[in-house]
Amino acid sequence: MIHQPTRIEPSTEYGLIGLAFSGGGIRSATFNLGVIQALARKGILKYVDYLSTVSGGGYIGSCISSLLNNSTYGTDGQDFPFYHEQGEPERETFRHLRNNSNYLAPGGLLDKLRIPAVVLRGVLVNLLVLIPYIVLAVALSEWCFELFGYDVTTDPGPISGLLMHPILFGAIGLFVLYILLFPPITKLLVPYLKWRWRDRYGKSFGVLLLVVVLAVTVILLPHSFYWFDKLDLGEVWLGIVALAQLLPALFAGKAAENVSKLIGRVALYAVGLLGPLVLFILYLYLYTFLFWDGESPYIAWIYSGAVVLFFYTRMTVNVNATSPHGYYRDRLSKAYMFQVANGQVSDTDTLRLSALNDEGTLGPYHLVNVAHNLNGSADPNLRGRNADFFILSKHFCGSDRVGYCDTKKMEKIDPHLNLGTAMAISGAAAAPNMGTTTIPSLVFIMAFLNIRLGYWLPNPGQLHASASSLWRRIWSWVRNRPLSPFSGAGPYYLIKELFGKITAQDNYVNISDGGHLENMGAYELLRRRCRYIIVGDGEADPDHTFHGLATLIRYAQIDLGIKIEMDLNDLRNREDGFSKKHCAFGTIHYDENETGYLLYIKSSMTDDENEYIREYRNNNPAFPHESTGDQFFDESQFEAYRALGYHIVNKLCAGLCIDGRATLEDWFETLLGVSLTPQFELTEEFVELQEQLRFIEQQFQDPEFAEYTRQIYPELATEGAEDGAHDSADTNRRIFHLCNLQLQLMENVVLALRLDTVYARDHVVNRGWMNLFGRWANTSHLQNAWRVSSDTYSIQFQLFWKEALDSERTTSESR
Amino acid sequence: MADQSNGSGGQPESPEEQFKRAVFPSELERVVERQKQAEVDDEGKVKDVLKKHQDPDDTSTYQDRTLN
């Protein structure tokens, strides 16, 4: 009997530990290099089960995964590839990354020129793909004009005369009539219609308006040839429009920042129209060339050429190969995919995803997060996200939308897919269709200008379907011939990108930067119910608004029903530009029975950093949130980000001694307390509270308070000591006031250290205060004073007294 | 939703089921292997919990969980 493999529900019971690196280009990669260095040095990394990366986080994540795929490296101490021994020169691994921090154009002028050359090459190939369609439009136009006896070379006269054209007149008349019928229909008919029919009726107005617009286009189109010829500006217009198309590349980012403003939106639409405009001018130019002075003798050549060009591009163009993806991927691969043997660096460019984490190696299971773009999908569940989650990993590629397929099979069908490619796709920040960050008005022009870093991957769902029937197998065979017009990601997918009509049903899925949907990289870790999640956030967030983290928390709540609680107040920017802390710790409520913890490490400054980090900040005030557009790091920049990441984790783990998984789990539990404990050594509060305590201690030196002192410290009690009942009324009054001083100090400490929470009370740092308060609260004097004055203190302190002191005393007494 | 079978001629399997039957378990297998290799499975926790969740007769490995 064959037993089906069991379906395993993700659970925190497994105690899984996940590490996520956020997006943010080389900035995040370098910051997280420091983070993972410190995690390895502190003995934490070896316990990490999952590494989940997005975009720039994937640069360093893939680098470490590729290095750890060599069994000579490990995840602990000196075995870690980026371990740096004090007093020793840096390892070659380090030097290689530093030397390649200018990865996009490290070779000077020629390499810098490659970027525009790659873009230009792609634009021309895109034109080759589109020209057959323009020729087809020209041929169809001429056929229509001949059919209706339309002479486009004659002067159409003033535009006002066109209003009386029968087509336009009919369309406008129909629209007006429809509106005239609107009142009686709504009064007599609509109330009795079902919702669906009412909706259709509403939509019919839009259809009629579209008919009017089409009518105007049909009327004006023939005359555009006349005006185009009369102005004789074809070449000039084409040149101006073509040059103007560089605008999106130069200003799209800036305009996008102001997209919410009206002017910004108008500007974006104006820029976006330039793409269709250049194609329209090409169309006008070609038509006038072929038909203006009678039929051109070249017409047969041009038609034949268009047909040849159509099949040539269908057979040879792969939109993945003609996009800048290859250039970007190779540059990234050169910088981050390498191994070191005998001091020599060699590349691991072709390291397959399925070959990762092989037996005997120690790398965490790597999840490369990408966004599955679905701009053309009508699925209401997307709610404007325009994308869905998608993973690339050792065993499987896919998503809950299209399904999963074996990575080995995917690599066989698309041999280009490997770790380097996955890293580049995950970091494909600039693309026409980019999930939640898509700018609809720029989709066409960005695709036309070949600003397409995304990738078309065989659809995992279709791969399964392809084996299901004979017809599909035959079709699959035909499609997979190298020069088949239907093979690979052909021009059809460029058209899809141009018009933003990308869905999940095609043979290929469009995937791009995971940050186009979720930039922390922790979503998939939440899906797997990791009990402990560490997030290294190096995204650009100069105002500390935590956009990426907030998005993750929102998606977790909506999609997975997971509630994440986290207090970020200490991470917010103060007026001096620094934050109080670098990290926050939160609780993940998976369900009623399962809880996890989230350690959030923010690329931030608290003014406790070393001198060269501060010096870099002084010279570059945007640090550590310099623009992601800056992918050309110099030495000081690289080191400042790396050192910051290292500093944050090193400080967080100060004094930590990991001895087994249980110790690590204890550390996580106590971290919540740490996160709630203000860093008193950095504030004046600590000094002030100590002053108050010193004052109280001085009061106790008064002989009148001897009995009270013995109550607090019964160990000091001796036989024959005076009984508290014999204290004079004046002494009691003075003790009462002293007790109030104590209570006020206790309240201050409770509020400052958040001792109203269990985690903070249990934390080792606060143990001294808790012991002292316990002794005080055990005295009859303080209890009497509390009974009298408790309602003059804050509700937090009252709760603290009840939960931490009353209940503790009750427990002790019951024992 | 993709029409996919579980590789043994059974009913079409939804991507969510694929995740629970194939994707997540195969990842856990690797986690167990790595923890053993790194000598950090001091309690054999993942393996123990996995055993608790699995059918006692289920001896399948990653290779058996392929989707095709």
d(CA A97, CA A338): 10
Q: Is A7 on the interface with B (CB under 8 A)?
A: yes
Q: Give the residue from chain A lying closest to B65, CA to CA.
A: A5
Model confidence, pTM = 0.79
When mean pLDDT is compared over A376-385, A458-467, A478-487, the highest value belongs to: A376-385
Work out the minimum CA distance from A380 to partner chain B, whole angstroms.
14
Partner residue opposite B54 with nearest CB, options A6, A15, A360: A6
Q: Is B47 on the interface with A (CB under 8 A)?
A: no
* A787 pLDDT above the threshold of 70: yes
8 Å CB contact of A5 and B25: yes
Which of B11, B24, B43, B48 has the highest number of chain A CBs within 10 A, making it the mutation to test binding with A? B24
Residue A640's DSSP bridge partners are none
Q: Which residue has the higher pLDDT, A281 or A669?
A: A281
**Which of A569, A753, A603, A587 minimizes the C-alpha distance to A668?**
A587
Q: Give the residue from chain A lying closest to B5, CA to CA.
A: A464
Phi, psi of A599 (to 5 degrees): -100, 120
Which percentage of chain A shows pLDDT scores above 90?
A: 46
8 Å CB contact of A465 and B3: yes
d(CA A365, CA A356): 8
Q: Which residue has the higher pLDDT, A668 or A284?
A: A284
8 Å CB contact of B1 and A403: yes
Positive or negative: CA dihedral A474, A476, A480, A486: positive
- SS3 assignment, position A564: strand
Q: How far is CA A730 from CA A214, A371, A694, A704, A736, in A?
A: 98, 75, 23, 10, 10
8 Å CB contact of A76 and B38: yes
d(CA A315, CA A487): 7
> A729-753 and A780-789 helices cross at what angle (nearest 10)?
80
Q: Is B11 on the interface with A (CB under 8 A)?
A: no
When mean pLDDT is compared over A219-228, A293-302, A489-498, A697-706, the highest value belongs to: A489-498
> A166-180 and A195-231 helices cross at what angle (nearest 10)?
150
Q: How confident is the model at residue A249 (pLDDT cuts 50, 70, 90)?
A: low
At A173-206, the pLDDT tens digits run: 998 999 999 888 888 887 888 888 888 888 999 9
Work out the minimum CA distance from B28 to partner chain A, whole angstroms.
9
d(CA A659, CA A215): 78
8 Å CB contact of A365 and B6: no
Q: How confident is the model at residue A680 (pLDDT cuts 50, 70, 90)?
A: very low
User: Element (H or E) spanning A533, and its range?
Assistant: strand A532-537
pLDDT value of residue A738: 86
Q: pLDDT tens digits, chain B, 68 residues: what are they?
A: 344 444 444 567 889 999 998 999 999 989 988 888 887 765 566 666 666 666 666 666 555 555 54
Partner residue opposite B34 with nearest CB, options A362, A403, A409: A362
Partner residue opposite B30 with nearest CB, options A2, A357, A463: A357
Q: Which long-range contacts (CB under 8 A, 24 or more apart) does B36-44 make?
A: B37/A359, B37/A360, B37/A361, B37/A362, B38/A46, B38/A74, B38/A75, B38/A76, B38/A362, B40/A46, B40/A47, B40/A660, B40/A661, B41/A661, B42/A660, B42/A661, B42/A662, B43/A661, B43/A662
End-to-end CA distance of chain B: 17
ipTM of the modeled complex:
0.78
Q: Is B51 on the interface with A (CB under 8 A)?
A: no
- Residue ranges of A 84-113 with Cβ closer than 8 A to chain B: none
8 Å CB contact of A660 and B42: yes
Average pLDDT over residues A449-464: 90
8 Å CB contact of B34 and A2: no
Q: How confident is the model at residue A527 (pLDDT cuts 50, 70, 90)?
A: very high
Work out the minimum CA distance from B21 to partner chain A, whole angstroms.
4
Which of B19, B29, B36 has the highest number of chain A CBs within 10 A, making it the mutation to test binding with A? B19
pLDDT value of residue A235: 62
**Which of A454, A445, A537 minimizes the C-alpha distance to A499?**
A445
d(CA B23, CA A524): 12
Average pLDDT over residues A212-237: 76
Q: Give the residue from chain B lying closest to A358, CA to CA.
A: B30
* A677 pLDDT above the threshold of 60: no
Partner residue opposite A360 with nearest CB, options B20, B37, B67: B37
Residue A192 CB coordination number (10 Å)? 8
pLDDT value of residue A219: 80
Average pLDDT over residues A680-705: 71
d(CA A350, CA A416): 9
**Which of A536, A613, A617 minimizes the C-alpha distance to A576?**
A617
Burial class (CB in 10 A: 0-12, 13-18, 19+), A167: middle
pLDDT value of residue A128: 95
d(CA A56, CA A222): 51
Which residue's structure tokens are 């006002």? A160
At A275-285, the pLDDT tens digits run: 888 888 889 88
Summary mean pLDDT of chain A: 85
Work out the minimum CA distance from A139 to partner chain B, whole angstroms.
40
Which of B3, B8, B30 has the highest number of chain A CBs within 10 A, making it the mutation to test binding with A? B30
Which of A2, A14, A400, A476 has the highest number of chain B CBs within 10 A, making it the mutation to test binding with B? A14
pLDDT value of residue A692: 79
d(CA A580, CA A679): 8
When mean pLDDT is compared over A254-258, A297-301, A762-766, the highest value belongs to: A297-301
Identity at A275, one-letter amino acid code: G
Average pLDDT over residues A106-131: 85
Q: Which long-range contacts (CB under 8 A, 24 or more apart) does A666-670 make?
A: A668/A532, A668/A597, A668/A599, A669/A597, A669/A759, A670/A759, A670/A762, A670/A763, A670/A764
8 Å CB contact of A7 and B17: yes
* A78 pLDDT above the threshold of 60: yes
pLDDT value of residue A135: 96
Q: Where are the beta strands (DSSP E) in A313-460?
A: 338-341, 344-347, 365-373, 387-393, 396-399, 403-406, 455-458
Tell me which chain B residues have a C-beta less than 8 angstroms from the C-beta of A403.
Answer: 1-2, 4, 15, 18, 67
Q: Is B38 on the interface with A (CB under 8 A)?
A: yes
pLDDT value of residue B33: 87
pLDDT value of residue A694: 75
Q: How confident is the model at residue A59 (pLDDT cuts 50, 70, 90)?
A: very high
Q: How confident is the model at residue A721 (pLDDT cuts 50, 70, 90)?
A: very low
pLDDT value of residue A777: 92
* A495 pLDDT above the threshold of 90: yes
* A673 pLDDT above the threshold of 60: no
d(CA A129, CA A491): 6
Lowest mean pLDDT among A531-535, A557-561, A627-631: A627-631
pLDDT value of residue A681: 45
pLDDT value of residue A486: 79
* A554 pLDDT above the threshold of 70: yes
Work out the minimum CA distance from A472 to partner chain B, whole angstroms.
14
Tell me which chain A residues have a C-beta less than 8 angstroms from the C-beta of B10.
Answer: 4
Q: Is B28 on the interface with A (CB under 8 A)?
A: yes
d(CA A301, CA A285): 17
Q: How confident is the model at residue A601 (pLDDT cuts 50, 70, 90)?
A: very high
At A123-180, the pLDDT tens digits run: 999 999 999 999 999 999 899 888 877 777 777 777 677 777 788 888 889 989 999 9
pLDDT value of residue A427: 94
pLDDT value of residue A720: 44
Largest CA distance in chain A: 129
Summary mean pLDDT of chain B: 70
Q: Is B48 on the interface with A (CB under 8 A)?
A: no
Show the tokens assigned to A660: 């087994």
8 Å CB contact of A7 and B20: yes
Interstrand relation of A455-458 and A508-513 (parallel, antiparallel or unpaired): antiparallel
pLDDT value of residue A23: 95
d(CA A339, CA A633): 22
Tell me which chain A residues have a C-beta less than 8 angstroms from the C-beta of B16.
Answer: 400
At A408-417, the pLDDT tens digits run: 999 999 999 9
Q: Is B23 on the interface with A (CB under 8 A)?
A: yes
Average pLDDT over residues A643-662: 84
Q: Which residues contact A676 (CB under 8 A, 6 or more apart)?
A: A567, A585, A753, A754, A757, A759, A760, A763
DSSP state letter for A260: T
Residue A121's DSSP bridge partners are none
Phi, psi of A749 (to 5 degrees): -65, -45
Show the tokens assigned to A248: 């999106």
8 Å CB contact of A403 and B67: yes
